[in-house]
Structure 1
Amino acid sequence: MQELGLIADIGGTNARFALAPIHQLVAGQELVINEAELIAATALNGAEYATIGEAIEAYLSGPAKAYARPAHAVMAIACPTDQDQIRMTNHTWAFKVSELKAATGLTSLKFINDYNALANAIPHLNEADLIKVGPGDPVKGKPIAVTGPGTGLGLAALAFSAVGPVTLETEGGHAHYAPTTEAEIEILRFLLKKHPRVSNERLISGMGLENIYTALTHLQGAEKSLSAAQISAAAVAQSDPVCAQALAHFCAIVGSYAGDVALTIGAKGGLYIAGGIIPRFIDYFQQSEFRARFEAKARLSGFVATIPTYVVVAKQPGLLGSAAVLNQRVNFNLWD
């Protein structure tokens, strides 16, 4: 019988769980896995559970109850994962991995950053899972970078070696924001009055779009607030000029930031934009300044001009990436 492992993709709003098949691999063998192999995929509202342990037990005793209780688990989560103590950046959950492992009875449990999972999903996506924006072709074997706005802003990279993929798990979304135009400098000035430090995430995320809109209304003399969904909807419908300005700035800022990521990582394998925000207005995004700003790197424009950029529209890339990491770790005993 096929052994199944527990996987999860835990964000600021939803905790997605599934069971994934564990394939038998030998050293150097390339893993092949796809979303169709995931079993009992379920999204739980994180706000309905006081702890992550309660959410896990609700899944195992509910949607996954027809299957044998898994021994191994890999869970992607939207926060740093380099310590035993984990505290989510955009959620109330805080816990110790060692205590959670004991409480759930798992033989092995590994938490990875959510963008670690997204990076590991990329090699297993097909053409229908991606929308290309602009020119360029990926160079096989070269690093790829995955970033994108959602509740927050994540960033990871994937390099390739003879023994398999190597993930660079980062918190680059929290690096300092660098404005490019006079208008962006004014937005930064506004945000510096509210925050002692302005990171990329303060502009490139759901709250980031809201921050840009509020800054623009303030600069025009009447500070207002709208949700990210309201701003993007009004911008696409061309029913509100300030919303249109906000979304235009947002897409341009994403482009400048993504180009910086491509330079930093040397992402000749491609720059992939994940997260739940941009797919909502993908047609607008394709016509925006994103790609022009991605390539606008002065003396290094030639370096990034050949790098392809994609928007990830797969249904469960975080779960798929977690399944890929689960297989690597079980097969090669990588439970550090």
Structure 2
Amino acid sequence: MSAQSISALLASSSAFADGPRLLADVGGTNARFALQTAPGSIALVEVLPCADYPSLTAALRAYLASPAVAAAGGQAVRHAAVAIANPVDGDFLQMTNHHWSFSIEAMRVECGFATLVVVNDFTALARSLPHLAAADKRQVGAGLARDNAALGLIGAGTGLGVSGLIPAHGHWTALQSEGGHVSFSPVNATEIAILQFAWREFEHVSAERLLSGVGLELIYRALAERAGVAAEAIGAAEITRRALAGESPLCDEVIEAFCGMLGTIAGNVAVTLGALGGIYIGGGIVPRLGARFERSAFRARFEQKGRFAKYLSQVPTFVITAQYPAFLGASAILSEKLADA
């Protein structure tokens, strides 16, 4: 995340007379924490493995108690915003991709916060999009973003996040979408074979089942069977490493299939939202693919919509390269909450 991005978003914020603010971005694998000590100053980022803590409250408290954070006023935090990879509907949350569950109000009281805002992680990420600097994103393919137009967002990691940002009267509204759980739709014989393989394990095969870390592993097993070779017991990281190193044609085929599927989903989001402002790609997987993603079928599949190919050719697609962009969105949401209080 660049200093330019943070300054653009927070320069107009009022001074934090009541102390630093806690920002968190919680996924199914890692929980990322930061302290916003003043307008334009987001620092002391720590990444804690979710598996190391029995609850989100325990991870949060461990962060605030760390020496550097405590020295910066961590124990005096009164306002916090948590972006979490989960639907947020009501007070009680049970994470889809992790065992943590909690009451928002109970956690607020237990931690002694005056304000605790919990939002879907892709809602927070969507709110960051207009504030990303040029260095925080990389365009893939052609297209030119239109001003005052909807933006779309997808991101594959532990799961598949989907959101959008809609302009209205000078403000942005982020969609609380769970679009990653739409039913997967194959577009070629290879994907039909992958879907048929996945049906043997799951009654419902969502886009997330394939466009995620465990999805890469599922695609690998499916393509290994289709090729008549034994699948090794390797995870998503090793599949990706072998593909990028040129060590395994099968692993490279997995990455190519993944990128093509992602292109179809991205195109679906673009036509659904009318996202002429662009489609942004976050999550942990795609940024690691680097130039391999740009050489993949992603952009061709993004535009592969028959009569709407010309429409989609106008829509730019960007890979988010900022390290912790969700903090930008969480900070904006928290600031608005406090301003309305």
1:2 aligns with 2:10: no
Calculate percent identity across the aligned residue pairs: 40
CA–CA distance in structure 2, aligned partners of residues 13 and 319 of structure 1: 17
The residue number in structure 2 matching 1:57 is: 61
The residue number in structure 2 matching 1:260 is: 268
CA–CA distance in structure 2, aligned partners of residues 116 and 270 of structure 1: 16
Mapped contact 1:19–1:40 kept (Cα < 8 A) = yes
Q: Pick from 87, 90, 95 the counterpart of residue 88 of structure 1.
A: 95
Mapped contact 1:5–1:326 kept (Cα < 8 A) = no
Structure 2 SS opposite 1:82: coil
Structure 2 SS opposite 1:233: helix
Q: Pick from 304, 316, 337 the counterpart of residue 329 of structure 1.
A: 337
State which drifts further: 169-178 or 52-61. Answer: 52-61
CA–CA distance in structure 1, aligned partners of residues 266 and 278 of structure 2: 11
Q: Which amino acid aligns with 2:30?
A: N
Q: Which amino acid aligns with 1:59?
A: Y
Deviations 1:40-90, CA, capped at 9 Å, x for gaps = 222112211111111111112224212342222110001111121101111
CA–CA distance in structure 2, aligned partners of residues 281 and 121 of structure 1: 22
- Superposition pairs for residues 203-218 of structure 1, below 5 Å? 203-218=210-225
The residue number in structure 2 matching 1:182 is: 189
The residue number in structure 2 matching 1:305 is: 313
1:271 aligns with 2:279: yes
Mapped contact 1:22–1:327 kept (Cα < 8 A) = no
Q: Which amino acid aligns with 1:298?
A: G
CA–CA distance in structure 1, aligned partners of residues 42 and 57 of structure 2: 21
CA–CA distance in structure 2, aligned partners of residues 270 and 108 of structure 1: 33
Q: Pick from 237, 240, 258 the counterpart of residue 250 of structure 1.
A: 258
Q: Pick from 205, 208, 225 the counterpart of residue 201 of structure 1.
A: 208
Mapped contact 1:77–1:112 kept (Cα < 8 A) = yes
Aligned residues: 321
TM-score scaled by structure 1?
A: 0.92
Structure 2 SS opposite 1:38: strand
Mapped contact 1:10–1:76 kept (Cα < 8 A) = yes
Q: Which amino acid aligns with 1:226?
A: I
Q: Pick from 159, 162, 178 the counterpart of residue 155 of structure 1.
A: 162
CA–CA distance in structure 1, aligned partners of residues 168 and 125 of structure 2: 18
CA–CA distance in structure 2, aligned partners of residues 161 and 71 of structure 1: 31
1:144 aligns with 2:148: no
Deviation at 1:293, TM superposition (A): 0.3
The residue number in structure 1 matching 2:7 is: none
Structure 1 SS opposite 2:144: coil
1:12 aligns with 2:20: no
Q: Which amino acid aligns with 1:317?
A: P
The residue number in structure 2 matching 1:107 is: 114
The residue number in structure 2 matching 1:320 is: 328
TM-score scaled by structure 2?
A: 0.91
The residue number in structure 1 matching 2:8 is: none
Q: Which amino acid aligns with 1:276?
A: G
Runs of 4+ in structure 1 over 3 Å off? none
1:229 aligns with 2:237: yes
The residue number in structure 2 matching 1:27 is: none
Mapped contact 1:215–1:223 kept (Cα < 8 A) = no
Deviation at 1:213, TM superposition (A): 0.8
CA–CA distance in structure 1, aligned partners of residues 95 and 288 of structure 2: 25
User: Could you say if the C-alpha distance between residues 262 and 135 of structure 1 is closer, same or farther in structure 2, counting changes exceeding 3 Å?
Assistant: same
Deviation at 1:223, TM superposition (A): 4.2
Q: Which amino acid aligns with 1:46?
A: C
